[in-house]
Amino acid sequence: MEDTAVRVRGLTKRYGDVQAVGGIDLDIRAGEVFAILGPNGAGKSTTVEIMEGHRTRDAGEVSVLGVDPGRPTRAWRSRIGIVLQTADDVAEATVRETVRHFAGYYPGAKDPDEVIEQVGLMEKADQRIRKLSGGQRRRVDVALGVIGDPELLFLDEPTTGFDPEARRRFWELIEGLARDGTTIVLTTHYLDEAEALADRVAVVAGGRIVAEGEPKTLGGRATAKALVSWSDAGERRSLETDTPTRTVLELTHRFDGEVPGLAVTRPTLEDVYLRLIETPAGSSSVRASTDSPR
């Protein structure tokens, strides 16, 4: 369909006796930022690599920009951009030389200096890549991924090694690309990154999608019970409730005004994610008691 950039049905992939992907169905709309989350070994990287045309599938149907990535064409490749988790570079070339070189591969490439500025490397434009820090090399990878002005951009852990300021600048770059209509498929271990950038997310575990939706509603997050917590005689108490306002009012009457250490929270994206991937016992996920405020 015209409004679907990626369509996947019944995708499976095995490595010997190990089933990496066990029947994934997925639709990614044109122009949206879609994040794929999951622990190492869950199958998310294999799924994305199949979409990129870098890995073959055992079964299922995959359409990316209307083309089967298992039978890619040169024209199709010019329409996508890829930022791999690890990438080789030309260590003796400068940043500007490298970006200009890659621009020559695309019929409608963006201005190299503009891209270098977007990824925050203008001050290092004439620096040899071998002299860059790990985070700065990662920014070169991002520049090479977007230089072709792609319709669809795959980002595999793109901000690994970025400092907080560089991450925020990268987020602004992605938001700008999305506003211009670029479809973006993002894999990341930073849940705040997924929440800040993604229109929708899918959580992959055991080779299957276990949840899909907007970050604010994933896994019933929007309708989950609130956790009201407070201090009482030096002890921390908490209550899960569907009516946090009523609970806070009861506590206010009980304490005759200010409630010591009062906090009202709902599950974070991290809380929901850890539950969805079946976090082992003893993790740091929030667990509420069932104490009554009375």
pLDDT digits (tens, 9 = 90+) for 78-98: 999 998 766 666 778 999 999
Looking at the structure of the chain, the number of domains it has is: 1
Q: How many Cβ atoms are within 10 Å of 234's Cβ, its own excluded?
A: 6
The pTM (predicted TM-score) of the whole model is 0.79
Is 36 within the bounds of a domain? Answer: no
CB proximity list for 179: less than 8 A, separation 6 or greater: none
Which ranges of 78-223 does DSSP label H, i.e. alpha helix? 95-103, 112-118, 134-146, 164-179, 191-197
Is 82 within the bounds of a domain? Answer: no
In the block, tokens 């940043």 appear at: 95
Across 190-207, average pLDDT: 92
Residue 12: pLDDT band (50, 70, 90) is very high
Is 259 within the bounds of a domain? Answer: yes
Q: Nearest-5° angle of CA 104, CA 107, CA 156?
A: 75
CB proximity list for 61: less than 8 A, separation 6 or greater: 7, 8, 9, 10, 11
| Higher-confidence position of 230 and 223 | 230
For residue 260, give its domain range: 224-276
CA 285 to CA 25: how far, in whole Å?
A: 29
CA 35 to CA 58: how far, in whole Å?
A: 24
Is 261 within the bounds of a domain? Answer: yes
Is 256 within the bounds of a domain? Answer: yes
Is 228 within the bounds of a domain? Answer: yes
CA 204 to CA 248: how far, in whole Å?
A: 37
Paired sense of beta strands 208-213 and 200-205, if any? antiparallel
CB proximity list for 127: less than 8 A, separation 6 or greater: 94, 95
Is 229 within the bounds of a domain? Answer: yes
CA 245 to chain centre: 33
DSSP 264: E
Q: Are 248 and 259 in contact (CB under 8 A)?
A: yes
Across 232-256, average pLDDT: 90
Q: Are 186 and 8 in contact (CB under 8 A)?
A: no
Return the minimum-mean-pLDDT range out of 27-31, 162-166, 182-186: 162-166
In whole numbers, what is the pLDDT of the chain averaged over residues?
Answer: 86
Assigned token pair, 183: 């479809």
Is 282 within the bounds of a domain? Answer: no
Residue 229: pLDDT band (50, 70, 90) is very high
Return the minimum-mean-pLDDT range out of 81-90, 117-126, 171-180: 81-90
Among 169, 201, 206, smallest CA distance to 269 is for 201
